[in-house]
Amino acid sequence: MKQYKSIFLLFSIFFFSNSLYAQQSSFSQEIFVTGLTVPTAVSKAGIGITTITQEQIQAVNPSTFDEILRYVPGLVIRQNAAGKLTSLSIRGGNSGSTMIMVDGIPLTDAAGINNDIDLSSIPVDNIEKIEVVKGPLSASLGAAAMNGAINIITKKGGDKPVQAAAQIQSSLLSQYYTGNASLYGSKDMIDYRINGSYLYDENISAAAYKYGNTENDPDAMGHFSAYIGAAPVDESKTSFYIDYTDRTSDLDNGGGANNDNPDYMQQTKRVSTAFKTSYLYNDIWEPSLNINYTYQDRIYGSSSQIKNDENDIFDGHSLNADFQNNIYIIDEFTLTAGINYEFNQIYSRTGILENNKNKNSYAGYLQAMINLFDSWNTVIAFRGLKVDNTDFIPLYRISSVYDITPVDLQIKAAAGNGAMSPSLYQLYDPVFGNSSLKLQESFAYEAGFTHGLLDKMIVYGLSWFDNYYNNMIAYGSYIDENNSIKTGFYNETKTHTRGIEAEFKINPVKYINFGAAYTWLQTFNIDGNPLARRPEHQVTAYINIIPIKALKINIGFIYNGESVATIYENSSLNDDYFLLNANISYQINDNIQVYIKGTNLTNTQYEEIYGYGTKGIEIFLGLKAKI
């Protein structure tokens, strides 16, 4: 069997190959902005970058946010049941060490276990583009970007005063349906967008069926967002954004055997607001102010407790304010300087905490972008970080790209450190919290290249990465300072991850393109044992066919190798698995599109987190319309 799998992997890489994000537009010079001071072409922006365009998102007509990310090399997605709590790991790091942003503004959950947002709560209907950056970005973006960042760029106003769009999607095999509608436009100096959506899904048991659990656990989520922007002159831009999500998820008592619970659920309400303004003076100085606030309310319990708001666990407040100055000294040199303040608070209305718990972070930062000879681009970043009573923490990063234009070869390298304080949940949860937790620290470096052939008909690349962690926060049994055995959060003294990311893309003719991505990942704790739920081998492949202008066919493949299932010694393994997905869309006219989508077409049974359920085969029908 192992020999068969090896042959199949090689075949996938070299013959059936297309990472989803190797479609036609991938061969153009996409503009990339995350972690940089000015928009920059991907070929010059640095290493470890994936840009997911609107065309690529529409190619799969995603139902959930994680569906978009599963084809990005170096990312591991984990769900405790399909559609439930979803997190990701970049290059073997912890889930909380990836900064999630919306239009460049951090999106956090002060009451979350790792301070990070549940990815399954992010709607997909309002996403224009996604930028994924892997590597140490704490110096450029903030502590939470220790392993990288994902920037969700939302749709804005259209090119007419009033426009509208809508989409519906329903499963043919289960009780699943979703719909969204948008009203948007622009007039003179104003642009706006109002968006609403609803999703209902009842095709899964949180505790996996194979362990004897039989009850389905529905998931329902409503979402509303509104954006307005104003540009009274070309040099200025001001915008305001508000986002509201209300979600109720049926849960079970845990993963594994006999954990069905017919009356246990979670309700989460999240409100996020953001204000941004900037002005360019004399094409030299561009100050900007960004302020965002997030409130998250989370209740666990029976249906009556949810209805009566009786079993509140933790609520969270997050406030982030950033004042940044871009100074365009000459075309070849841009300097950025700024200050940042972040406030996080958790509290409980039911008295689980004796008093509110707060965390304050202060930072000042400098970043320089240097372009020499129009071929050598370097970013140097420094940030000084202070978290409450901790010592001053210096953070740095350097990234460089050398573009040999005549042969279309880019040689890339980067290095930097990171530091991240424990979340308030990890410190103060009354059952699993550990107030003695130390700051997590890291050092990482990477190097690689990208090479285009035949006017980018063929593009391939290879990257090597190496990450070293001190005091990575883990969950399990540990011995505290009183020599007592406890279960909860603790610091792993030394952790190491390393690996290779390889990509191959080919666009042989106008209407067909294919390629592949492969990730090899090794992880080690201080005893040399692998970290949990991090597969050593991952392969994604995709082929896109456009037989006629109106018809698009998308076939995708995902392979995840086996991984250690839990953090405990002598842990069982999560088996490796293959997933086959497809999407066929037909554009009836400029305003109407119909599509049919299939996920897990081989009906593979698999687990991402031990004991929790995942979906079998699903077939969806969808309709999109706009005016």
Chunked into runs of 10 residues, the chain (627 residues) has average pLDDT values of 43 40 41 63 73 87 89 87 75 89 87 82 88 91 91 89 95 92 94 95 83 86 95 92 92 85 88 95 93 90 79 84 93 92 89 86 94 90 92 93 93 94 90 90 95 92 95 85 85 92 90 92 90 93 92 95 78 88 96 96 90 89 94
Residue 12 φ/ψ region, left for φ over 0, alpha for ψ in the -120 to 50 degree band, beta for the rest: alpha
Query: Cβ neighbours of residue 331 under 8 Å, at least 6 residues apart?
Result: 371
Distance from C-alpha of 472 to C-alpha of 431, rounded to nearest angstrom: 20
pLDDT of residue 451: 95
- The DSSP secondary-structure symbol of 12 reads H
Q: Which residues pair with 217 in a beta bridge?
A: none
Is the distance from CB of 382 to CB of 396 less than 8 angstroms? yes
Residue type, 215: E
Distance from C-alpha of 88 to C-alpha of 176, rounded to nearest angstrom: 24
| CA torsion angle 70 71 75 80 (round to 10) | 10
354 C-beta neighbours (distance < 10 Å), count: 9
DSSP 3-state of 65:
helix
591 C-beta neighbours (distance < 10 Å), count: 11
- The DSSP secondary-structure symbol of 161 reads S
Query: Could you tell me the pTM of the whole model?
Result: 0.90
Is the distance from CB of 322 to CB of 290 less than 8 angstroms? yes
Residue 363 exposure: Cα atoms within 13 Å on the Cβ side:
33
Strands (DSSP E) contained in 144-284 are: 148-154, 163-171, 176-187, 190-201, 219-230, 236-250, 265-279
The residue whose two tokens read 């984990």 is 78
The token pair that represents 485 in the structure block: 């055995």
> Which tens digits make up the pLDDT trace of 128-152?
999 999 999 999 999 999 999 999 9
- The DSSP secondary-structure symbol of 595 reads E
CATH code of the domain in which 353 resides: 2.40.170.20
Distance from C-alpha of 236 to C-alpha of 238, rounded to nearest angstrom: 7
Distance from C-alpha of 105 to C-alpha of 240, rounded to nearest angstrom: 12
The token pair that represents 263 in the structure block: 């009356």
Run of H or E including 425: helix 424-428
Distance from C-alpha of 6 to C-alpha of 537, rounded to nearest angstrom: 11
The token pair that represents 577 in the structure block: 């698995």
Is the distance from CB of 15 to CB of 7 less than 8 angstroms? no
Q: Which domain holds residue 318?
A: 2-626
Distance from C-alpha of 488 to C-alpha of 480, rounded to nearest angstrom: 10
Query: Cβ neighbours of residue 487 under 8 Å, at least 6 residues apart?
Result: 432, 476, 477, 478
Residue 154 CA: distances (Å) to CA of 90, 105, 234: 23, 12, 21
Distance from C-alpha of 110 to C-alpha of 345, rounded to nearest angstrom: 6
359 C-beta neighbours (distance < 10 Å), count: 19
CA 550 to mean position of chain CA atoms: 31
> Which tens digits make up the pLDDT trace of 157-196?
888 999 999 999 999 998 899 999 999 999 999 999 999 9
SS3 content of the chain, % helix, strand, coil (to 5): 10, 55, 35
DSSP 3-state of 436:
coil
Note every long-range contact of 602-605, with CB atoms under 8 Å and residues 24 or more positions apart, other chains counting: 602/578, 604/577, 604/578, 604/579, 605/210
Query: Cβ neighbours of residue 384 under 8 Å, at least 6 residues apart?
Result: 363, 364, 365, 392, 393, 394, 395
Please give the tally of structural domains in the chain: 1
Strands 512-524 and 440-453: unpaired
Is the distance from CB of 67 to CB of 89 less than 8 angstroms? no
Run of H or E including 56: helix 54-60
**Alpha-carbon Rg for the chain in angstroms:** 24
Distance from C-alpha of 206 to C-alpha of 215, rounded to nearest angstrom: 9
Residue 533 φ/ψ region, left for φ over 0, alpha for ψ in the -120 to 50 degree band, beta for the rest: left
The residue whose two tokens read 């690996």 is 499
The token pair that represents 382 in the structure block: 């420094």
pLDDT of residue 33: 63
